[in-house]
């Protein structure tokens, strides 16, 4: 079985400040050369400040287009030139609020890789879909949109994040067993096409992860870290979550 390096990623969404960049970068500086990758996804206007602080940085989204009359969009090539290494693609808020389909997400995934960014593909079901027993179907369709466009090998240069929509920002969290079940399903599904890709792919859990529940989540065999929301805006809590991941190496 491949050894997968844990990742703890903080998605700040439309939060944060110049002062917070300094506070968080100082708090996590000790992880720069440790056995866990720590990534910050700040708002676009804080990208350069975050890069200057020395943290590993990603954007929260990119455009699927190279250039043009797309006011407010973020160009992948420019994000890379400014120092971003990663980008989120397909976060549930982008899908639900901004109408991004799985096909658009696949286009963004492709554009990220084309321009040298590592895409973090976000997938997950709504509460209604879970109640209907459609979790695996929904997650599989979201992942297969990328595979259909680019092939299974494209996932070898990416990260995947399972985020049940019903647990994002709600205070609800999937139990470690619920989260592990979906992570295992994803890995088993991918293994039917490529065992090496399935075993090496880092799959993160996101959904109200905090410093109280991170350890029990990260000890699950198919959970390789977390995509953290609100807790990534608090230095002490975020460091504690990083320690949870480091303790499981």
Helix (H, G, I), strand (E, B) or coil at 40: strand
Q: Quick one: residue 161, left, alpha or beta (phi over 0 = left, psi -120 to 50 = alpha)? A: beta
Judge contact between 155 and 120, C-beta under 8 A. Answer: no
Q: How many angstroms separate the CA atoms of 86 and 89, rounded?
A: 10
183 tagged catalytic:
no
Catalytic residue among 93, 125, 163, 183: 163
Catalytic residue among 91, 93, 125, 183: 91
Q: Record the tokens describing residue 69, joined without a space.
A: 């009359």
Judge contact between 200 and 4, C-beta under 8 A. Answer: yes
Largest CA distance in the chain: 47
Task: Report helix angle 235-246 to 18-28, nearest 10.
Answer: 30
Q: Which of 191, 192, 200, 100 is nearest to 142 (CA)?
A: 100
What is the set of active-site residues?
A: 91, 163
């Amino acid at each position: 079985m491949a050894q997968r390096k844990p990742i703890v990623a903080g998605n700040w969404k439309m939060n944060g400040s110049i002062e917070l960049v300094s506070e968080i970068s100082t708090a996590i500086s000790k992880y720069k050369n440790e056995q866990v990758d720590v990534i910050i996804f700040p708002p676009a206007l804080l990208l350069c400040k975050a890069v200057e602080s020395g943290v590993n940085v990603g954007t929260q989204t990119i455009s699927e287009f190279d250039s043009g009359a797309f006011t407010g969009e973020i160009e992948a090539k420019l994000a890379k030139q400014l120092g971003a290494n990663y980008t989120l693609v397909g976060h549930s808020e982008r899908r639900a609020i901004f109408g991004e389909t799985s096909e658009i997400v696949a286009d963004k995934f492709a554009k990220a890789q084309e321009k040298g960014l590592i895409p973090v593909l976000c997938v997950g079901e709504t509460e209604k879909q879970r109640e209907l027993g459609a979790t695996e179907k929904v997650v599989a369709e979201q992942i297969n949109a990328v595979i259909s466009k680019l092939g299974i090998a494209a996932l070898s240069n990416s990260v995947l994040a399972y985020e049940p929509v019903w647990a994002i920002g709600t205070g609800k969290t999937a139990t470690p067993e619920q989260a592990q079940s979906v992570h295992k399903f994803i890995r088993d599904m991918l293994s039917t096409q490529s065992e090496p890709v399935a075993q090496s792919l880092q799959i993160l859990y996101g959904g109200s992860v905090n410093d109280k529940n991170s350890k029990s989540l990260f000890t699950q065999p198919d959970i390789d870290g977390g995509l953290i929301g609100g807790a990534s805006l608090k230095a002490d809590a975020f460091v504690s979550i990083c320690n949870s991941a480091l303790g499981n190496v």
